[in-house]
Amino acid sequence: MDASPSGRRDVAVVLGTRPEIIKLAPLIRLLGARARVVHTGQHYDSALSGTFFANFRLPAPHLLLDGATGPWGRGAQIGALTAELARSFVADPPRAVVVQGDTNSTSAGAQAAHYCGIPVVHVEAGLRSGDRAMPEEINRLVVGVLADVHCAATERAAANLRATGTAPDRIRVTGNTVVEATLMSLPEPAERERIAREHGTREPYVPYVLATVHRPENTDAPERLEALLTSLAALGAPVVMPLHPRTRAKAKEFGLERLLDRLRVVDPVDHPTFLALADRARLLVSDSGGVQEEATVLKKPLLVVRTSTERPEAVDAGFSRLVEPGPPLVAAARALLDDGDLDERLRATASPYGDGSASRRIHALATALADGEPLPRIEAGQ
C-alpha cells in the first residue's frame, strides 16, 4: 500500500457521482494510504453510494460535502462546491488533486485545486462532443484549461487536447480506467446467469434488450420520451429497463406511465448487477456515456440514443451507433438483433479504451506530480 513521504493522505481524489466512483475505484485502491477520497455529495445516497464503495472495497469518503443542491442551477452548485473544496484544501493542502470526467464535481474540484495552487490530474481528459449545449462539454473545456496533467483515454482524445493548445508534455495516453473497473465488477459466469434470470426474463430464459435512459435530452421533452418508450416496446424482443428516478418522475409527470407497462421495468441496480444484465443481453440501448465504454469491454452492440457523442471511438470500432428515438431506433435495433454474425465480430474486436492498465499508469503520473518528480513517459505495453 502506498505511503506518502509525509505520511499524509496527500493525493485528493474528488468525485461526486456513481460513475466517478466506478472509474476511480481502481486508482483509489492503488493509491492506498495516500488517497484522500472527497465526495462532493453531488449524487449521494447513503445506501446506493455506500454499496458502490463496498463493491470496490473502498474506504468511506474521508470528506463528504452536502452537494450544494437546490433550485439555483448548475452555476450555483459549481460555485458552492468550489468554495467548499477550496476551504478544505486551504485547511489541509493535498499535494495533488485528481478529478475524473466531466461532471459539476469535476469542474469544481479542478477549479478549487487550481485557485489553491495545487496541481490537477484530469482522468479521461480530452473528450469532446462539439456540442456546447451539453453541460458536460462546458465542464470538459473548463478542466481542459486548468489541468496540469491530462490522462487521455485514447489518441483521439489526446489530439483534441493538442488541437486546443495543450502542451504535449502535459498529455499522456493512458487508456480508460473503465476497462479494469468493468472486469473488476463483472460477476462470475454462474452469477451472471442467475442475475439475468432473476432480473431479466425469468424462466425460460429468452434473449432480451437492456435499456437505460436518464439524460435530460431524452427525459425532459414529453414527445421525445414518448417516442423513445414507444420504440423500445416495438423492438420485437423483451426489454429490461432499470428505471432511473429521473425517468420515472418524468414519465409520471407527462402521463406516460402506461408505456412503461409494456417493458420489464426493474428498480435501479448496483454496478455488478448491471454488468451481469448487460453481459447476458442481446442488445444494449442507452444514453449513458459510461455504457458506451463498458459495451466495448463486454463486446456488446449498443444503440446510443443521443444527438451527439464524445466517445466516437466506440462508434468507429463498430460497437455502437447513434440513433434517434422512433422508427430509426426500431429499424437499427431489429437489424442488429437479426445479425447472426454480430457476436463473433464484436468478440474479435479490441476495445479502443486500452488494455486494463490505465489505473496503474495514472497512479504513476499522480504520485510523480505529488512528489515533485518528472512525469513518466508512457509507451505502449507499459
Phi then psi for residue 155, to 5 deg, are -65, -35
Please classify residue 57 by burial: count the beta carbons closer than 10 Å to its beta carbon, then call 0-12 exposed, 13-18 middle and 19+ buried. exposed
Quick one: pLDDT at residue 260?
A: 96
CATH class of the domain whose range is 187-347: alpha beta
Catalytic-role residue among 214, 244, 271, 363: 214
Give pLDDT < 50 ranges for the chain: none
Q: What confidence tens digit (pLDDT) does each residue in 84-136 have?
A: 999 999 999 999 999 999 999 999 999 999 999 999 999 999 999 998 988 99
Topology of the domain comprising 11-176+355-370 = Rossmann fold (3.40.50)
214 tagged catalytic: yes
Instruction: Determine how many CB atoms are found less than 10 A away from the CB of residue 159.
Output: 14
Instruction: Say how many residues make up the chain.
Output: 382
Quick one: pLDDT at residue 47?
A: 52
C-alpha distances (whole Å) from 4 to each of 56, 86, 100, 292, 365 are 22, 22, 22, 36, 14
- How far, in Å, CA of 162 to CA of 157, rounded? 9
Whether residue 40 contacts residue 20, with contact meaning beta carbons closer than 8 Å, is answered with no
Quick one: pLDDT at residue 380?
A: 54
Q: What confidence tens digit (pLDDT) does each residue in 11-52 have?
A: 999 999 889 999 999 999 999 999 999 999 887 666 556 677
Please classify residue 73 by burial: count the beta carbons closer than 10 Å to its beta carbon, then call 0-12 exposed, 13-18 middle and 19+ buried. exposed
Quick one: pLDDT at residue 306?
A: 95
Its pTM stands at 0.90
Quick one: pLDDT at residue 176?
A: 97
Whether residue 269 contacts residue 279, with contact meaning beta carbons closer than 8 Å, is answered with no
Q: Which residues does 216 contact at the CB level (< 8 Å), separation at least 6?
A: none
Range(s) of the chain covered by CATH 3.40.50.2000? 11-176+355-370, 187-347
DSSP letter string over 264-330? EEE----HHHHHHHHHH-SEEEE--HHHHHHHHHHT--EEEESS--S-HHHHHTTSEEEE-TTHHHH
Instruction: Tell me the three cell numbers of residue 266.
Output: 426493474
Q: Which of 99, 45, 41 lies closest to 68 in space, CA to CA?
A: 41
Q: Which of 256, 270, 260, 282 lies closest to 200 in space, CA to CA?
A: 282
Instruction: Determine how many CB atoms are found less than 10 A away from the CB of residue 91.
Output: 7
- How far, in Å, CA of 38 to CA of 113, rounded? 12
- How far, in Å, CA of 176 to CA of 124, rounded? 7
Quick one: pLDDT at residue 34?
A: 97
Q: Any idea what DSSP says for residue 168?
A: G
